[in-house]
Amino acid sequence: MSILRDPSLAAEGRRKIEWVRSFMPVLSGIEERFIREQPFRGMRVTVSVHLEAKTANLAYVLSRGGAEVRATGSNPLSTQDDVAAGLASLGVETFAFHGASPEEYKSHLTAALGHHPELVVDDGGDLVDLLGSSCAGLGDRLVGGCEETTTGILRLKAREREGILPCAMMAVNDAKSKRYYDNKYGTGQSVWDAFMHTTNLLVAGKTVVVAGYGWCGRGIALRANGLGADVVVTEVDPFKALEAAMDSFRVMTMAEASPLGDIFITATGCRDVITAEHFRRMKDNAFLANAGHFNCEVDVRGLTEAAVSLRERRQNITGYEMPDGRTLNLLAEGRLVNLAAGNGHPAEIMDLSFAVQALSLEWLSKHEKDLSRRLYSVPEEIDGEIAGLKLQSMGMKIDSLTKEQKEYLRGWQVD
């Protein structure tokens, strides 16, 4: 039985789900085939991704393909209670509610694994962490799983190195159809959508400091620049730093950027990116936000210890008063800002990402006998199929190589 905050919100949740389904044509096309072919008949799937409307659509599509699906969130602050109720009303057992305590959150993950799944969809690695420890017994039927995020892939690689992956895992985040668009264009838009909705303030004319220039950082910086901000990038990778500089952004250390920034956005996947030494240098009313999966990039504990008082200034904005009278504003408790304080990525972007998830799960189910406990790349044919379907849905066509051109590219002779 589902665990929900308020089942009476189901109608509004279904409206949200139906809305995004209208803008996810690739996944809809996959759903039509899944209904006919039933690739997951008799299989159990556990989905742990930020529980909002696009995720609900993925879980529903998998159920339409014959799977017994259980869904839960991957972050206590990103679950939308109406969507959770709506998904449960569509026949997908759902275990999540907004604002769950750490203990409640873990119990939701455990309950979602309670049907002993063959397949899992993870976001950040929490399901795999449980399956490799306290919930190992619930993984007795595991075939494989998919990981959605950069942070989760890092955790999986560490497990793979130590030989403790509980099952075969697919690196969905590394697929071109995912990282090129979800991480760059999805994060770029949704972070600023969340910031502007939460603060009701202008971005133009402000100095924005973006920590990390991976695909997510590129998108955040690109959109900040488009909104009229002066963008500073901080990095630890010299090649990414050079790329940021050649993209016309200023590059410096966080210590140098601290007194300059009006808005700080972290997107590194690492911890302690902004710490006490930086808080001491920041302007009055500077904003701190995190776009990484875990709330460890901004040192919230250090910020709390440094403050003489704190108060809620607006929904999802906590003001930390420093001893010298300055106030630093933390958005969404330092959690993933675009989901904890917003609606996440646009539906058209998640259409690509969740198409990768759906087809990767199908691939895992078909290759069960050949799998070992390691991290797999998404097959190129899946990636290419999804990109082609997306272009087709947008009414676009591209050229194809002729036989002669293919032979030319394979050879070494020049005519």
248-251, Cβ contacts within 8 angstroms, sequence gap of 24 or more = 249/210, 249/221, 249/225
> Is the CB of residue 288 less than 8 Å from the CB of residue 191?
no
214 is in an annotated binding site: yes
pLDDT tens digit sequence for 222-243: 999 999 999 999 999 999 999 9
Second CATH level (architecture) for the domain 185-335: 3-Layer(aba) Sandwich (3.40)
> Is the CB of residue 212 less than 8 Å from the CB of residue 268?
yes
pLDDT tens digit sequence for 245-268: 999 999 999 999 999 999 999 999
CATH of domain 7-174+345-393: 3.40.50.1480
> Is the CB of residue 41 less than 8 Å from the CB of residue 63?
no
367 is in an annotated binding site: no
pLDDT tens digit sequence for 309-355: 999 999 999 999 999 999 999 999 999 999 999 999 999 999 999 99
User: Which residues, including other chains, have CB under 8 Å from residue 301's CB and lie 6 or more apart?
Assistant: none
pLDDT tens digit sequence for 292-319: 988 999 999 999 999 999 999 999 999 9
Strand 317-321 versus strand 327-331 pairing type: antiparallel
Query: Structural domain boundaries of the chain?
Result: 7-174+345-393, 185-335
pLDDT tens digit sequence for 166-191: 999 999 999 999 988 999 999 999 99
> Is the CB of residue 240 less than 8 Å from the CB of residue 214?
yes
For residue 202, what are the CA distances in angstroms to 196, 400, 402? Answer: 7, 45, 51
Helix (H) or strand (E) segment spanning residue 216: helix 215-226
186 is in an annotated binding site: no
358 is in an annotated binding site: no
215 is in an annotated binding site: yes
- 274 pLDDT exceeds 90? yes
The residues pairing with 288 across neighbouring beta strands, listed in sequence order, are 264, 330
207 is in an annotated binding site: no
269 is in an annotated binding site: no
Tracing tokens 């072919």 back to the chain, one arrives at 37
19 is in an annotated binding site: no
How many C-beta atoms lie closer than 10 Å to residue 329's C-beta? Answer: 19
For residue 237, what are the CA distances in angstroms to 65, 233, 251, 255, 303? Answer: 43, 11, 11, 16, 26
66 is in an annotated binding site: no
> Is the CB of residue 146 less than 8 Å from the CB of residue 153?
no
218 is in an annotated binding site: yes
99 is in an annotated binding site: no
Q: What is the mean pLDDT of residues 38-54?
A: 97
150 is in an annotated binding site: yes
User: Which residues, including other chains, have CB under 8 Å from residue 380's CB and lie 6 or more apart?
Assistant: none
Q: What is the mean pLDDT of residues 15-44?
A: 98
3-state SS, residue 236: coil
219 is in an annotated binding site: yes
Q: Do domains 7-174+345-393 and 185-335 have the same CATH topology?
A: yes
| CA nearest to 33, candidates 1, 8, 65, 9 | 65
> Is the CB of residue 88 less than 8 Å from the CB of residue 333?
no
pLDDT of amino acid 413: 78
Distance CA 10, CA 84 (A): 8
